[in-house]
Chain A
Amino acid sequence: MGWSMGVGKGIERIDALQKVLGNCLFAGDIRMEGMLFGVVVRSNRPHAKILEIDDKAAWEVPGLVKIITHKEIPGRNRFGVLRKDQPYLAEGYVRYLGEPILLVVAQDERSARRAAKRIKVVYQDLPIISDPQEARMGTPLRDGGNLLTQKRLIKGNWDKGFEDSDVIVEHHYVTHFLDHAFLECEAGVGYMEEEGQIVIISSTQNIHYKQKEVAALLNMPESKIRVIQATTGGGFGGKLDVTVEGYVALGVFHTKRPVMVRYTREESMLSNTKRHPLSIWYKSGAKRDGALTRVQVRIVGDTGAYASYGEVVAQRACVHATGPYEIPNCYVESLMYYTNNPVAGAMRGFGVPQMAFAHESQMDELAQLLGMDPLEIRLKNCLRKGSSTATGQRLDHSVGFEDTLKAIEPYWRERDFNKNTGHGLGSMYYGIGNTGVPNPSACFLTLRPDGLIGFHLGACEIGQGSDTVLMQILLEALGVEGKSVVLVRGDTEASMDAGSTSASRQTYITGRAAFEAALKLKGYLEQKGFYKGRDLKEIYQEASTEGMLRFDGFFDPPTTPLDPNTGQGIPYATYAFATHMSQVEVDTSTFRCRVRKVIAAHDVGTVINPVTTKGQIYGGIAMGIGLALMEEYVPQRTKNLNQYFIPTAMDMPEVKVILVEDPEPTGPFGAKGVGEPALIPQAASICNAIKDATGFRPFELPCNFERLCLLGEKERAIGSQK
């Protein structure tokens, strides 16, 4: 690992070799002496009172050690990212199928599962609310009613009618629950140190948040809880909420022995949070020349039984509802309701992929009415330098959206018009980091007696490549070689809070924090003659007497809170932009769609590592194909991956990635982010391509052959009536 690891180089990921060799331990691979196994007993009813729990038969299973109920929780039996509303273990009442009731701890996994199966729970069923429309009118599921949150975004003369528009397009779009289907199911191991500290090693996207939640659960100070991130096999937002950590902690607390909790795929699909289904009513108006005049959008979402990231998704969907276009007048209302469905939480894009499906369909429909080319209408309205976004934020720098459209243009102009083949565009913008709230990141560097620099990082590497990219930023800023730096990562004991690995924020925010720390250390090292060849061990000696062994870096992107009435403000310091063009082939007999080719142009700011950036985009496209054509989680019905179809390599199209770099001044070396932007425009571009190929437009996702066939039959019936 030499100096060539710097910014802009497509270096090999620093974790690649150990992963390929199988040396990295995932939480589920960890074995400890005397380790017990915990299994969560879950509700098999979507809404019920628990009348009685009979565990007699379970105690007949040899190896059963402990059954833990909510009564054995020493601290707060509630968790949640914004609202602490979700119980770890039910208190006589369950709100969704799969809600945890008890924790069974046994000598080994087989005994634990056997004992868990023998526990009898007597329920009294209660009426179910399975749809946000019912939730709006129906019996309240909790005090304060079923409405979790209501967000609004208004701009310009939003209350005027559409009289100023020459054309109006109005449609209703529907999306469904999705599962993250990460490769590695949730798993964690915990143990107790001699001094009573509880250590949890788990598959997670945010160690510091988990530390706080577990401390509250056990009623222990945070210093007594240490969370370490195991090698993590994907997250996509599904490992942001507390998953196994609470149960591991409870097991360790009560048995004082090491405990593992590891979900099967069925448990994972039953219990994990899902992508929010959104129902979107979208009305757009434009002038004859294609200039957008106004939009009116109503979004109704289903957050399931608990809040989780429901408010975040409602807010993000609202802010991003207009898409990457300059629209003088808009009214957007975003409502999120509780139901008895699975808990919907964070999933790659926080509601924006759903919104992109709607706003990009609208753009193509407008173009068609106006007889305009879909690319032209986007170029006509695109956000540029100096544009004002829907929240009234003036964009002064790093607005590469037009460049992404221009990058796609030659491919769009030369697209071939084969039979049964369609082409579609999808564009998006995405605010990097959390919405209108502080979301700082901190890290620190140390000088070590062994003459190395310690890079202490609290950011979770979940497979996306943040370790590599952050290391590249550090090395470039510090002007040292990779072999001089030791990465100490993913341990609350040895790092500061970097915030969650979510919202495409680690490269931009933690990257900038690393950059800041590097500048401080660099200043010190310059002073000490390091760059003139002085040895780091020598410098360490001096630094330890001077008390200069640690250099902190911190960054919090400049944002303002959104006005609660109008939604106006500066929710994000910077935005990523992208345009995808998809070529889709539709089999006219079977209505089966295959994506053949994708051109993806992204403005991610400065590219730190072109190889991992492209990797993110390939993965986003795969996930977008799933969202558009295959993936659908049906509550109470979908149980495993044989019923939930994620694309395989065989479904991948030929992909060409074009990286447009419009540097972001506040980012490290000008970088922004790509994690979620990679996915967001993909499904939208596929739906536009399907319309191009078949003449009919999907309004509901996923657009599998079933839906497309019924749509085709309907269109044919309408056609024959005419």
Chain B
Amino acid sequence: MLPEFKCVVPRSIKEALTLLSENECKVIAGGTDLLIELQHQDIAALLVDVTKIPELMWGPEDRPFLISPLYTHGFVAGSAMIKDTFPSFALACSKVGSPQIRNMGTVGGNIGNASPAADSIPPLMIYDARVRLISSSQERELPLEELLVDAYKTQIRKDEVIASVSITPLPNYRQGYKRLTIREALALSRLSVAYAIKEEGKRWLDVRIAIGSATPVCIRARELEEALSGELKDLDLLNQAIEQTILRIESQVNVRESHRFKLPILRNLLREILWGGAWE
């Protein structure tokens, strides 16, 4: 059962930042993770609900490559413009939880919570997402990959909020998102892969792969990307590159029980994605 708690709903960014700098608070941006966490606590910190701040609200038609932290997963999944420009991102958001969770949970909340299984993070990574953070004293921008420190840990300070996320479109790339779940809906990803691949004939021109739920922090598979980008498609090369990524994952986790199945499945998924679905 939820403890009693206070929640303030600031109507301007200034009000929000002042609150955050002067009090012990927690930002709430949808609450689909936070409220569950709160259930197990006796006393809650002051919540600052950022979802009514006008400065954080805009539409994709206003700033097409700048994602508002207040976009809900449902909004992203349904926006024709985002689906068109960032299909992997839109697809991933359409897979989150259930309609209720998608309509409450936000992109900013998903990043701030930094779950290893966050669905929006791997696709944002392949679009080279940069996160702008503001506080009452400063403003800074970090690549999403740097922002995420560990499972549920980010570089976001207690007095900062996410102001925007900028991403770069990848026209003429084959893009998508695959996730593995125990059931069809209402389930966290056990493994996820966001991809954008530019190909020409038998050559990979540019390969971008981000993997979720395999490591404490979602990762870009840089070694695999570098090994394949610009190369002629070759199964041995592909398998070698995949093994490098697997090795890196193994080095980052003390191969948990779950990796006994995750790694073989990841191999299969990467082969399927990179071989253009023709893998046998």
Contact = CB atoms under 8 A, between A and B. Distances in A.
Interface of A: 109-110, 113-114, 117, 264, 588-592, 594, 629-630, 642, 645, 647-651, 704-707, 709-710, 712-713
Nearest to A646: B183
Contact of B183 (A113, A645, A710): A645
Contacts of B186: 648
A704 B182 contact: yes
B260 interface: yes
A590 B191 CA distance: 10
Interface stretch (B57-65, B74-82, B163-171, B262-270): B262-270
A217 B1 CA distance: 30
Contacts of A591: 261, 265
A117 B42 contact: yes
A709 B184 CA distance: 18
B15 interface: no
Given A590-B180, A650-B183, A705-B182, 9 more contacts: A110-B4, A589-B265, A589-B268, A589-B272, A592-B180, A630-B182, A642-B188, A648-B186, A651-B183
A648 B258 contact: no
A629 B268 CA distance: 21
Contacts of B272: 589
Given A590-B180, A710-B260, A650 B268 contact: no
Contacts of A594: 184
Interface string B183-200: 111111011000000000
A598 to B, nearest CB: 16
Contact of A589 (B183, B187, B269): B269
13 contacts: A117-B42, A589-B265, A589-B272, A589-B279, A590-B265, A630-B183, A642-B36, A650-B183, A650-B184, A651-B185, A704-B182, A706-B261, A712-B264
A705 B180 contact: yes
Most A CB within 10 A of own CB, among B191, B261, B269: B261
A713 B261 CA distance: 9
Given A110-B1, A645-B182, A710 B268 contact: no
Nearest to A707: B261
Nearest to A632: B182
Contacts of B182: 629-630, 645, 704-705
B183 A709 contact: no
Interface of B: 1, 4, 36, 42, 180-188, 190-191, 258, 260-261, 264-265, 268-269, 271-272, 279
Contact of B1 (A264, A592, A629, A709): A264
Interface of A: prevailing SS: helix
Contacts of B264: 709, 712-713
Contacts of A629: 182
Contact of A648 (B180, B183, B188, B269): B183
Nearest to B180: A590
B44 to A, nearest CB: 13
Nearest to B258: A706
A651 B182 CA distance: 10
B42 A114 contact: yes
Contacts of A705: 180, 182, 190, 261, 265
A109 B261 CA distance: 43
Nearest to A118: B42
A705 B262 CA distance: 9
A710 B265 CA distance: 10
B185 A650 contact: yes
Contacts of A713: 264
A293 B184 CA distance: 43
Contacts of B184: 594, 648, 650-651
Contact of B261 (A117, A647, A651, A710): A710
A709 B259 CA distance: 11
A630 to B, nearest CB: 5
A193 B184 CA distance: 50
A588 B278 CA distance: 12
A117 B43 CA distance: 13
Contacts of B261: 591, 705-707, 709-710
Contact of A113 (B1, B180, B265, B279): B1
Contacts of B260: 706, 710
B185 A648 contact: yes
Given A114-B42, A590-B269, A109 B180 contact: no
Nearest to B187: A645
A630 B187 CA distance: 11
Nearest to B272: A589
Contacts of A590: 180, 191, 265, 268-269
B99 to A, nearest CB: 11
A81 B27 CA distance: 50
Nearest to A113: B1
A630 B191 CA distance: 16
A712 B267 CA distance: 14
A642 B42 CA distance: 21
Given A588-B268, A706-B258, A647 B188 contact: no
Contacts of A588: 268
Contacts of B185: 648-651
Nearest to A112: B1
Contacts of A114: 42
Nearest to A716: B264
A109 B268 CA distance: 50
A591 B190 CA distance: 13
Most A CB within 10 A of own CB, among B1, B183, B191: B183
Q: Can you list the 3 inter-chain pairs with the closest CB atoms, starting with the nearest?
A: A650-B184, A589-B268, A709-B261
Contacts of A650: 183-185
Nearest to A713: B264
Contacts of B4: 110
Contacts of B190: 705
Given A645-B182, A651-B183, A709 B42 contact: no
B53 to A, nearest CB: 30
A664 B271 CA distance: 57
A109 B188 contact: no
B269 A647 contact: no
A648 B279 CA distance: 31
Nearest to A647: B183
B101 to A, nearest CB: 11
Most A CB within 10 A of own CB, among B180, B190, B191, B260: B180
Nearest to A648: B185
Nearest to B4: A110
Contacts of B181: 592
B138 to A, nearest CB: 37
A651 B185 CA distance: 8
A390 B118 CA distance: 53
B192 to A, nearest CB: 11
Nearest to A589: B268
A704 B265 CA distance: 13
Most B CB within 10 A of own CB, among A629, A647, A651, A705: A705
A617 B181 CA distance: 26
